[in-house]
Structure 1
Amino acid sequence: MRVKDQNFLKKQNQSLVLEYIIQNGPISRAEIAKHMAMSPTSASRIVASLEEEQLIKEVYLETDEVGRKATYYTANEHSVVFVGVEIDVGVVRAGLMNLIGELITARSFQTNTDHYEHVVEFIGQMVNELIREQQIGKDRIAGVCIGLPGLIDNEKGTVEFSAQFNWRNVPLKQLLEQKLDLEVFIDNELKLKALAEYVSASLPYKNVVMLGFGKGVGSALITDGEIYRGTNNMSGEIGHMTLDPYGAYCPCGNFGCLQTYIAIDFLLDEASKTQPMDSMDELAAAYQKKEKWAVNILEKAATYAGLAIKNVVCAYNPDAVFLSGSLIEDYQEIAELIIEKHSNSTWFPESYSYELLVTQMKGMGVVKGAALSVQRKLIKNLDFKGGA
């Protein structure tokens, strides 16, 4: 038991030191030892093991002493590469990230996402093409993470159910690993986007919630830098909370789910009862013209969205709430309406407890979060012979 505990501590210390160097390099061994509260000998051994694995590299900086250069260490950004992929309705986005969290390249592709077999084939070709374009050997790829909406079993790598694609029990991890010959992880796209937002936020938030309003409705909680998953990775599925058991049918199989009052397809269905409506752009345009029927539809949806924000705040008591999704990011007037409705529904103690912000993780936010999740897996699972 003692040997196991020692090995665990060694591995944990290696991970912590690598993470600290990535975030704070260039940095000296003495500074590492001081910050990590470990002996200089232990710090030197860990630094040597990380350098042997080519995850960090030496740099020489001038000191105050004339003519003397000190040895510092920084992350070797070119040592490993992480692949992030997002599957959206009709779109697949992908990017490659280096060890220090910079996107090397990122691309967006239009494609049919109705059938998972086609998507698997498409992602296989796309990822291999990006790797070839950047002239990166597969031995440098630490892994691939795929983010998509739906109920995802991230341990098994299966899509239990995605209303947006009407996929059920799809073994996406297994299929893509066969296609790519790389380790693949599958996760919920909003959880990954929330992770990217948390890492990128300039303020030191401890607990962050992200809410997504678009083709579906969902939430994600980041607490102390980690994705809160709950049992079976189902935390945050607020879109399927039942508001009215006699309400509209939801693709999840229930009736009156929250998303049936807010999600885009349901809004278009409601609008089509008044006049044919093919896109959210048309509905937004009618709202801007102050057509009464469009105003009524979006004000009702915004009221439910505002209450969803309030309920999540009451449940999680976060430091910050970030709003995301196509209704927020593509339609400023709808975002402003949702924020207004929420402001009207807050009660005094709640209104001063958190910041309400619009996401800055647009476009490639899920891709970045997916790549960051692989980076974190690498850091946490270091297994070298050196150590404290």
Structure 2
Amino acid sequence: MKQSWNQSSMKHENKRLVLQQIIAEEPISRADLAKRCGLNKATVSSLVAELMDDSLVKEAGIGESSGGRRPVLLYFSREAGYALGLNVGTGTVEAVLTDLRGTTIAQEHFPSRDKEYEPTITVIEEAVEWAHRVVPPSPHGIIGVGVAVPGMIDHSGTVLNAPNLQWRNRPLKCDLEDKLKLPVMIENEANAGAYREYQTRSDSAESLVYISIGTGIGAGIVLNGSLYRGQSGYAGEIGHMTLDFQGPLCTCGNNGCMELYASEPALVEMAMGACLEDCKDFDSLVNSAGNGHELALSLFTEAGRALGSGVISAIHAYDTKHIIIASRGGEWMKNAVRDTVRAKALPHYRDDLDLVFLDTRLPVASLGVSGLMVDEFLKGRKGFEKAKE
């Protein structure tokens, strides 16, 4: 007998619930699962059997008896498949292969000699070929490819505008799925970073803002436990927050945007305008600051004050305790950012603020988009959707 749509939908949701509970509380018995999920034992046993058939759950070990037979314990099969997370930059594609728990299995960088669209697609194909070579044997293999891009992404996976890559209206998801023959997810780089930070925080934070500073400045926002993308998917363009209506013209067409005061190109331009010795690029500016050069340090301080103004607007707007800033110049901006927030933010917002500067050597965006790919795999597998007859 074929199940009705409602029956199929309910089974789908119950199956997801059981899997989520196993992931959250492993090792766990079927009896405890039934209590946690509010389902009867027969239903839980049936759903667990299907999850085991899907290779997503396994039995291992015996639990303590509460009076009857000792229960068999259930675990999530993190090695049932692997996700590939890619972060596309202006000179490299960073690749991280993870298991279904987000643990890094392998990591590599692929130089992209040309930031044009088609050559970058070729580099991504090279990264996927590498992943196929290094991935361990598993029932599901590589379950998908997540790609983080510093730009505006719509719901179809089209890159509408990535200024530092000079991409406009590029159907990246469609193009990659045609070439790779794998599920592909495209996500804004800051959103991916925000999701990874939310996943890994130990204090169970429900809301945070992750600010990524590079060629531009973008923010990823998690509100009430969910990644906030906005009505059209473009939320987080914090770099185009106006700090000075009479300020210089921005590439977006407005004046005085925060990117003009705190992004990497802005700092390099200011350093060259001030005739800072040996300032060819942002790396050399960072080196000068690291060597204690007073002019370089003063430029980072001014950038920190501008960034602090943006942070104040973010905490006032979103009422979040957690602000995470990822910047290669964070070490020399952080004091100015904190001083600005302490001086200008309303007391109720600043008193309990957790302001963190992140080590940018960590592959946060790659791990974040890999985690998002895993979530999609676990939530939307065809095996979950199929109504059995």
Output the TM-score relative to the length of structure 2: 0.90
SS of the aligned residue for 1:232 comes to coil
Deviation of residue 207 (structure 1)?
0.9
Q: Hey, what does 1:274 align to over in structure 2?
A: 274
Q: Hey, what does 1:373 align to over in structure 2?
A: 372
Aligned residue runs from structure 1 range 30-49, under 5 A: 30-49=31-50
SS of the aligned residue for 1:124 comes to helix
Deviation of residue 76 (structure 1)?
1.5
Deviation of residue 220 (structure 1)?
1.4
How far apart, CA to CA, are the structure 2 residues paired with 1:87 and 1:282? Answer: 22
How far apart, CA to CA, are the structure 1 residues paired with 2:360 and 2:9? Answer: 35
1:197–1:360 contact (8 Å) kept in structure 2: no
Aligned residue runs from structure 1 range 1-388, under 5 A: 3-61=4-62, 63=64, 70-136=71-137, 140-153=141-154, 155-275=155-275, 277-287=279-289, 293-328=295-330, 332-359=331-358, 362-382=361-381, 383-384=384-385
Residues 365 and 167 (structure 1 numbering): CA distance in 2 closer, same or farther, change over 3 Å? Answer: same
Deviation of residue 89 (structure 1)?
2.2
How far apart, CA to CA, are the structure 2 residues paired with 1:106 and 1:23? Answer: 26
Residues 362 and 339 (structure 1 numbering): CA distance in 2 closer, same or farther, change over 3 Å? Answer: farther
Relative contact order, higher structure (CA 8 A, sep 6+): 1
Write the letter of the residue equivalent to 2:309.
L
Write the letter of the residue equivalent to 1:376.
D
2:300–2:333 contact (8 Å) kept in structure 1: yes
How far apart, CA to CA, are the structure 2 residues paired with 1:138 and 1:60? Answer: 22
How far apart, CA to CA, are the structure 2 residues paired with 1:291 and 1:358? Answer: 22
- Using the aligned pairs only, state the percent identity: 27
2:323–2:356 contact (8 Å) kept in structure 1: yes
Deviation of residue 370 (structure 1)?
0.7
Deviation of residue 62 (structure 1)?
5.3
Deviation of residue 365 (structure 1)?
1.0
How far apart, CA to CA, are the structure 2 residues paired with 1:137 and 1:49? Answer: 18
Superposed CA RMSD in Å reads: 2.6
Residues 264 and 360 (structure 1 numbering): CA distance in 2 closer, same or farther, change over 3 Å? Answer: closer
2:55–2:139 contact (8 Å) kept in structure 1: no
Deviation of residue 283 (structure 1)?
2.8
After TM superposition, the structure 1 stretch with the greater mean CA deviation from structure 2, 290-299 or 46-55, is 290-299
Deviation of residue 386 (structure 1)?
7.6
Residues 371 and 285 (structure 1 numbering): CA distance in 2 closer, same or farther, change over 3 Å? Answer: closer
Deviation of residue 340 (structure 1)?
2.8
Write the letter of the residue equivalent to 1:218.
G
1:193–1:361 contact (8 Å) kept in structure 2: no
How far apart, CA to CA, are the structure 1 residues paired with 2:172 and 2:370? Answer: 17
* Residues matched between the structures, number: 382
Output the TM-score relative to the length of structure 1: 0.90
After TM superposition, the structure 1 stretch with the greater mean CA deviation from structure 2, 83-92 or 249-258, is 249-258
How far apart, CA to CA, are the structure 1 residues paired with 2:152 and 2:386? Answer: 38
